[in-house]
Amino acid sequence: MNSTVKRAIQFESEFKYDAARELIQAALAKKPTDKDLLCEELILGCFNWEERTAADRFKEISGASREGVLYGILSKHFAAVQAMYAKLGKTDDVLETYAAQFPLSDKETAGVKLSACLIVKNESQFLGQCLESVKGIVDEIVVVDTGSTDDTVAIAESFGAKIAHFAWCNDFSAARNVSLKEATGDWALWIDADEALDANSVEMIRQAIVRPHFGGYNLEIVNFVADDKPEEQFVHRLLRLFQRRDGVQFTEPIHEQIAPSLKTLGLPWMHLPEAKLWHYGYKHEVMESKGKIERTLSILESRLNENPNDPFQWFNLANTHIVAKNFKEAAAAAEKTVAMMSPSDEFAPLAYQVWMTSLNELGNSLAAAEVAELARERGTESILIEFELANALAKLGNWSRALEAIQRSLSMEWPIHLAGDRSIQAFKRHALQGQILAQLGRIEEALESMDYAVQNAPNHTSLQLARGVLYRHLGRDAEASADFNAVSDDPYFGVEARLHLGQLETKKYNFKGAADIFRSAWLLDPQSDDAWSYWCEALEASNDDTALLRAYEELFEHRAADARLLTNYGRALERAGKEEEALDCFARAIQVDEEDANAYFNGGDVLYRLGRYEDAANWYQNGLKIAPEQAAGWFVFGNALAQLNYTDAALRCYDEVLRIDPHHAGAKYNRSVVAA
């Protein structure tokens, strides 16, 4: 065996198949007929699912030092395919030829029996959906119950599951190893009750388990993290499909793994494209109802007390804290993770992002930007890091640098091994770019980015609202109205959408229609001062004094009347010709807040118009004690005194007006008249 093959075998033992293949192919370019090199190329091809090619070329490597290894791979593979075809009732003459060419020895078997292995506790909400998703692919279902008090066990039994019981001891691996012990399959599919196997994964799994030269396969796990937004997905890969053989077992009490035992046995694994699990248990309502966060934190903290130098568990702790919105704790745990981890760790990009996100949420975006620089210095670049850097720079108002960062994120692909918030790739980075471009005044470009985000996240009403605002900026009112109407019933953004709709009606001088819309916005949130103010302004513009008074009456049913509201109500009463009620209202405002100068001035105005000049003068005087720099107050005070023939006092008032505002034309004129 030549040295190149030996080096390739070393790479294979480290699961570095791409490096091994590059090495062999380079050597074959120089020695294209070397049987040992050809044999190794065909062995590597089997780990790329090219077994039939290897079988067709097997005669070329007769006498190679590793011929027996290749024969063993092919014989087990074709025997497994035969077993799968028999199970499915299929036939294939070509397959039979291959199987006859590479028969198994009498001592060997290649089974394809698949066991679904679950541990459960009070999972009646999701278990039926889970078991329904696997019943067409698995040969048996093994359910280990850890103390259910609902009908979980009955549901499992209705699917013909084999039931075992386990006394919970805060160790997920211990419970899962019981499920492996109870199973009888050649392969195990590890699935949780709140997950479901994607229907399109079945054929891929069947192809996977006819390849016993693999120890297992990573499946993509799509975690739905928002209760009402299916496009909000956190995606990661985990070894969920694996051979059930001696020595294969779970390790770690939480965030348990099967990969370490496969590695010990020298069994490789690969990512299984197009095979995925849908996970519903990360939705906020589910996490809260099951107390998952508290349980997870407790086990992680216990594990870290035993082994404080485990970067993977520090990462898991940081991730759990950020899910719980414990941002201070998440930042601290992520910082520890980064200090201990290797840049080559698969979770490295996400660890940096968790740290940055936590800092951004804590209002320390400058520190978040510094973390991105640290990641770059240590050789970690990622779509996640650039996205969070853009977010940090946007929060700092550094829009030009934020645009550079988000465009770097947009130029990056999502690597197959990367775990994280997949919605960043799908729409969030486009939405953030739109926000940044809008701040830079590049509205047309911003609209293009936001439109892409809306198309890819139709349930995100915040994005549709933002697009509507951009349409308004461009004067495309019809399109803006369509977006605002689509959002108008949203519990979070409906008020803002209706305010925009009302403003568009105001722009068309449809004050009555605007008032109706603003009222509907206020009814959604009676604490919204903006909705209330716009409603009143529209009613005033439409000269509907009766409706305006009713509006105040509705308001006072929902909140206590403060001095400002009472003063405005008094002005509305005066507009409606109810001067005495208006005066009572201003008096109530003063009772609520003796320092409310506006109530005094408005009351003085009513009294002045009623010809009650002495009372008016008293109200103005009291208001000016509170707001002595109010030029308009001095002016009407002077007018009231002039009506009472207090000439000298009136002149002093006009002088005060001109001291405050030397260009006040009314004061100049009235002073000249009174002085004459």
The pLDDT averaged over each successive group of 10 residues in the chain (676 residues) is 90 92 94 94 96 96 95 96 95 93 86 97 95 96 97 97 96 97 98 96 97 96 79 89 96 92 95 93 58 86 92 94 94 97 94 98 98 96 97 98 98 92 95 98 97 94 96 97 96 96 97 97 94 94 93 89 92 93 95 94 95 96 96 95 95 96 95 89
Give the pLDDT confidence of 188-218 residue by residue, as tens digits: 999 999 999 999 999 999 999 999 999 999 9
Distance CA 129, CA 124 (A): 10
Same domain, 204 and 163: yes
- Helix 597-609 vs helix 631-643: angle between axes, to the nearest 10 degrees? 30
Candidates 455, 412, 398; CA nearest to 431 is: 455
CB 496 within 8 A of CB 488: no
> Domain tally for the chain?
2
Predicted local distance difference test score (pLDDT) of residue 581: 95
Predicted local distance difference test score (pLDDT) of residue 233: 85
CB 46 within 8 A of CB 77: yes
Domain boundary among 71, 101, 131: 101
Domain, as residue range, for 18: 3-101
Same domain, 203 and 267: yes
Tokens of 413: 């692909």
CA distances from 354 to 256, 329, 456, 564 (A): 21, 11, 24, 45
103 φ, ψ (degrees, to nearest 5) = -70, 150
Same domain, 70 and 25: yes
Give the DSSP per-residue string, 383-451.
HHHHHHHHHHHHHTT-HHHHHHHHHHHHT----TT--EETHIIIIIHHHHHHHHHHHTT-HHHHHHHHH
Same domain, 119 and 48: no
CATH number at residue 53: 1.25.40
In a domain, 243, yes or no: yes
CB 515 within 8 A of CB 547: yes
CATH number at residue 136: 3.90.550.10
Give the pLDDT confidence of 381-410 residue by residue, as tens digits: 999 999 999 999 999 999 999 999 999 999
Candidates 328, 433, 46; CA nearest to 213 is: 46
Same domain, 122 and 16: no
Predicted local distance difference test score (pLDDT) of residue 369: 98
In a domain, 78, yes or no: yes
Same domain, 203 and 82: no
Helix (H, G, I), strand (E, B) or coil at 342: coil
Tokens of 333: 């745990």
* pTM confidence score: 0.81
Domain boundary among 60, 81, 101: 101
34 φ, ψ (degrees, to nearest 5) = -65, 115
Same domain, 176 and 46: no
In a domain, 372, yes or no: no
Tokens of 176: 């899962």
Same domain, 40 and 150: no
In a domain, 619, yes or no: no
Same domain, 69 and 142: no
Helix (H, G, I), strand (E, B) or coil at 492: coil
Helix H or strand E encompassing 222: strand 216-224
In a domain, 388, yes or no: no
In a domain, 459, yes or no: no
Helix (H, G, I), strand (E, B) or coil at 144: strand
310 contact partners, CB below 8 Å, separation of at least 6: 303, 304, 340
Burial class of residue 609, CB neighbours in 10 A (0-12, 13-18, 19+): exposed
Domain boundary among 41, 67, 101: 101
CB 7 within 8 A of CB 23: yes
CB 667 within 8 A of CB 654: yes
Same domain, 96 and 167: no
Same domain, 272 and 132: yes
> Which amino acid is present at 21?
R
Predicted local distance difference test score (pLDDT) of residue 286: 54
In a domain, 158, yes or no: yes
Same domain, 142 and 221: yes
In a domain, 540, yes or no: no
Residue carrying the six token digits 């004050």: 511
Candidates 497, 495, 515; CA nearest to 505 is: 515
432 contact partners, CB below 8 Å, separation of at least 6: 387, 390, 391, 394, 406
CA distances from 197 to 240, 256, 275, 559, 565 (A): 11, 20, 8, 52, 59
